[in-house]
Structure 1
């Protein structure tokens, strides 16, 4: 395989790359779909990879959906995918608390109903989902009732995030033995037409700042996201390809874990972004330079069907 980075993937190089891997990890939004529309050719790529004996997994920092919800969405779009192949941060956070933290207690959850469901699936109870309206005055806030069984604060995407939720997290985290877990640090969620809304990273930073604590983050580019897949399926990093549209999450995850990396230009990051990192000479930024890039993953199809 080529030693240099940021190579245009085409021709015989596509087959060479695919022949060198047995497993492929795909980010979702911006890679295989945009919103509720599959990217042209993406279902055929995924299904052909499987027909060619490759193992395919879906890894996403989105914490608002369960594995089943993702599997249902994939099926509706024509992807041959199962629930067990989906690794979102809602599921991975639950697995981290169960397998790594070995949590004995409840979670104060700043997050979605999907996160609540994934926690319950591994036997962890939560408190906190839904709105938490503010009442009283400051001394009341500082003495807000707390559940003594809560042993961790978990922060994911929460459309009901509020001052009172931030305050309640602070009160729990004033106990140094209470864990702080974050799903991911993405600061913006890109939308169609160049628009964006604040991402989970903004909420997590607020909690970290209030509590003067640093969270353990489970999502991309953290190593645990890959470990979660690798430990269940015995993946060999040297024979695994990470395909994504974000340099700071997808490609950096691949670099952190020793995977081959492929950037698709159908989402957030641009080729100019990758080149800027490559020319920077900064070790931290070099980790965000992909091995290869394509305009769209549909470019893999001829090599898979030929």
Structure 2
């Protein structure tokens, strides 16, 4: 079906659409804020959703921050919400291990940052230290020896600014152990940097390196994979996919998550993808590109405020 621009909907259609969902899942950067600044109107729309009885969840593929950091940010920028309404991939990684009964006498090797280890702390799962590790660079590989911790039985791969040959070697070695668990927080290819002539590699590039070295596929937690929504449902059984709206700025993560889970979808034009791209996908003969088309589009989330403030 073609995408409908919010501006082209009648007041009655907007009211009907608003009544069709009880839960809102929204991406953060590019939808609610850019950097340290809220996008105009976004806090007011989120709070209006709550006034209308909607449950709001903040969902992000960013694994570098603990939910407490996001809680501080949503409070500072005026979005509000409870800690259990913030769903990040660092939290998902810890939750996945806890839910599958990971033996807490064992440890995790983390290719990632403190957001992951802090979430592991919350559920009492041990891990090896994070940070730079360049201990085996520039050595004769034929005579290489590395001390491996015998208690490591899981690897979590996320965004790691200290990615190195040593880390790939250790991750792959731990993943060669029988029964070891391989988790990837997400597979975003790049970190969007508008207005700069640089390309910032995303988590996906680091996950791919570990995957290639280990010769095995990870369990991928972040958008667009259904596990993110499944964990929301597990924690909050009243959430129904057909009555959930997914809001995002990026089609291949946010909108595709919605399509993969049977959610309603709304794209905003304040982040990665534009209305022009949506129109291209609508006319594409590629079925995968057609799946990127959202149900609704708004130039920015704040544009909804005038349409829903009096309902």
TM range (shorter): over 0.9
| Pair 140,172 (structure 1): closer, same or farther in 2 beyond 3 Å | farther
| Pair 280,213 (structure 1): closer, same or farther in 2 beyond 3 Å | same
Residues in 1 aligned to 2:283 and 2:186: alpha-carbon distance in whole angstroms: 27
For 1:6, the equivalent position in structure 2 comes to 3
Q: Contact 1:103 / 1:151 at 8 angstroms: preserved in 2?
A: no
Please give the root-mean-square deviation of Cα atoms over the aligned residues, in Å. 1.4
- 1:143-198: CA deviation from partner (whole Å, max 9, x where unpaired): 31111111111101111111110111111122242121100000100124155411
- 1:106-129: CA deviation from partner (whole Å, max 9, x where unpaired): 110001111101011112111141
**Match of residue 166, structure 2, among 155, 164, 167:** 164
Gaps of 5+ in 2: none
Question: How far did residue 264 of structure 1 move?
Answer: 0.3
Q: Contact 2:89 / 2:221 at 8 angstroms: preserved in 1?
A: yes
Q: Does 1:190 align with 2:192?
A: yes
Q: In the TM superposition, what are the counterparts of 1:11-90 in structure 2 within 5 Å? A: 11-12=10-11, 13-90=13-90
Please, which moves more after superposition, 199-208 or 122-131? Answer: 122-131
| Pair 55,140 (structure 1): closer, same or farther in 2 beyond 3 Å | farther
Q: Contact 1:134 / 1:163 at 8 angstroms: preserved in 2?
A: no
| Pair 174,198 (structure 1): closer, same or farther in 2 beyond 3 Å | same
Runs of 4+ with >6 A deviation? none
Residues in 1 aligned to 2:308 and 2:275: alpha-carbon distance in whole angstroms: 25
**Match of residue 214, structure 1, among 212, 217, 225:** 217
Gaps of 5+ in 1: none
Residues in 2 aligned to 1:196 and 1:38: alpha-carbon distance in whole angstroms: 24
- 1:223-270: CA deviation from partner (whole Å, max 9, x where unpaired): 010111111112100100000000000000000000000000000011
Query: TM-score, normalised to structure 1's length?
Result: 0.94
Residues in 2 aligned to 1:30 and 1:188: alpha-carbon distance in whole angstroms: 14
Residues in 1 aligned to 2:123 and 2:59: alpha-carbon distance in whole angstroms: 19
Query: TM-score, normalised to structure 2's length?
Result: 0.93
For 1:102, the equivalent position in structure 2 comes to 101
